[in-house]
Structure formats: C-alpha cells, structure tokens
Amino acid sequence: MDTMITFRNGKLNEFMTKDQIRKTAPYIFATAPTNKAVSDRYVFASTETIIDDMAKLGWGVVQCKQQRSNKNSNVRSFHLVAFQNPEVYITKQTEHGEEIDAYPQIILSNSHDGFNSFKFMVGIFRLVCSNGLVIATQEFENIAIRHINYSFEELRLTVAASIEKVQEQVAVMNKMREVELTEEQRKDFAVNAVAIRTGKDVDEVKVSDEEVEELLEPVRKEDNGTDLWTTFNVLQEKVIKGLFHMGTTKRGKQRKARPITGPAKDLEVNQSLFRHATSYLLAA
C-alpha cells in the first residue's frame, strides 16, 4: 500500500478565525515580550505575524494550544500552532484506488519570553482520527527562525523546507506499515508507552496483562492491525488522550489515566513514542 504526498487545487478546509484562536491561546496575540528581562537585542515578532504570513502562503490555523501560566507569573508564554494547507495532502493506494489518507501540518512552537526561537515541526493529521491527532518528532524539529532574523522570505523558505521534510515522513510511514510486529513486540511497545507517559524507566513500570490488552485495543475498526504504523497510532492516541488505566487506587479501583493537555508534554511524549517506534524498524 503506497503512500505519497500530493499537491492540488481544492476546496479550502475550515480554518480557525482569529477570535477562536484568541479564546484558545491568547499568548499568540501578545504585543510585547512577556519577559521584561529580555535583552535589548531581542526583536519582538508576534506569532500573529507568522499566522498572517502563513495565510499568504496558503496555510491556515487548524489547532492551537498554550502552556498554562504560573499563578504568580506569565513570563513563560509557550504555545503551539498547527497549520494546514488543503492543497497539500497524503494519499495511499488501496484496493478501491487512490484515497486521501492524511494532511501534513506545519507545527509552530514559540514563546514571547526571549527563551525560544520560532521552531517548525512536521505533523500529520490522520483523517481516520478526526480529533486532530498529530505526529511531531524531534527528527523533524531542526528548522528554526530566531526572532532577531525574522522575515517573510525566510518564512517562505522554511515552509518549503518543511514540505521536503514531509517527503521523509511519508517514507518512514511506508516502512512502518510494512513491518508486522509479533505479539511480544506489541506488548513491549505498550509497556514502553506507559513508561514514556509516566517519565519512568521501563524497568520501573508495572503494567498488568489486562492494561496491556486495553492499550492495544483500537478505538476504531480502521485501526485494526498488527503492523508497526497501526500499533504506534493506537498507542499514541491511548497515551495522549488518557484512554487507558494505570494501576489501582488505595481502594483497589482501577485508576484511569488523564489526558495530556499541556503542549510541552504533548510534544515530549509524541517525540519519545515516535523514536521508540522507529527502533522496531532497525530490528525488522
């Protein structure tokens, strides 16, 4: 089953309006650095400017998040914005012909506190998973623009480089689809997913057979399968959205995991899960 990236002219997706973005992540619209201690050389460039410039290139906002601020300070203003272009999508060949499988996303991370550059990552929006689950990996996180050097032309080049990264991502997706995991490997992946989620060493994690089975049970029929790509997506959704149980309470009841809501933790877990998934490619 081949997968490829395709470009075409088509109907625009429904992008978030600025009012919707502002309600979800107001830090995006900061008009000055949130950290008064930043250097005089720091050139403030609002994420809103990036949103406006990305729109000129055909990329609209489909999702955004911001880090919950400290009760006593809003100096750290980390936030994420996911952009999508309806003319750029990933197709796959099936028995019914060519079908759209997913949309690449360009994910921007930024803060207005002087601690971070603009960072651009490649994500994937799977149509089968309408909640906007994405992949963002450290391997594709090496495109950055410093505030002091920001320009529209550099952004244009960054977007072009990001599209090239999508080609690499598609190649990895294809390889993962071709690898069938043994039952032992799938169970190992599930236990490692819990370790990644909890931030513990895998040897410190205790996961019952019932919990492993729950983790590997797909949410939807389209995710039935034992290949590496399918297993990764099932575990990713379960771990990120808290769709599993971890241990028991003092009263002996199963403890349900909580969904991950913080953008920094979301990225960290996504990246670690993907890195672990690619380790099975080496073993194949």
pLDDT (tens digit, 9 = 90+) per residue, 197-250? 999 999 999 899 999 999 999 988 888 999 999 999 899 999 999 999 887 766
pLDDT band at residue 9 using 50, 70 and 90 as cut-offs: very low
pLDDT band at residue 67 using 50, 70 and 90 as cut-offs: confident
pLDDT value for 210: 93
Domains of the chain, by residue range, sit at 3-167, 183-283
| Separation between Cα atoms, residue 264 and residue 246, nearest integer Å | 22
pLDDT value for 10: 44
> Taking the alpha carbons of 59, 62, 68, 74 in that order, is the dihedral positive or negative?
positive
Q: Are 276 and 189 in contact (CB under 8 A)?
A: yes
pLDDT value for 13: 56
pLDDT value for 149: 62
pLDDT (tens digit, 9 = 90+) per residue, 98-150? 888 888 888 888 876 665 667 888 887 776 654 444 555 554 454 555 555 67
User: For the whole model, what pTM was predicted?
Assistant: 0.78
DSSP codes joined into one string, 209-265? HHHHHHHHS-SSGGG---BHHHHHHHHHHHHHHT-SEEEE-TTSPEEEPPPP--HHH
pLDDT band at residue 276 using 50, 70 and 90 as cut-offs: very high
Run of H or E residues at 117: none
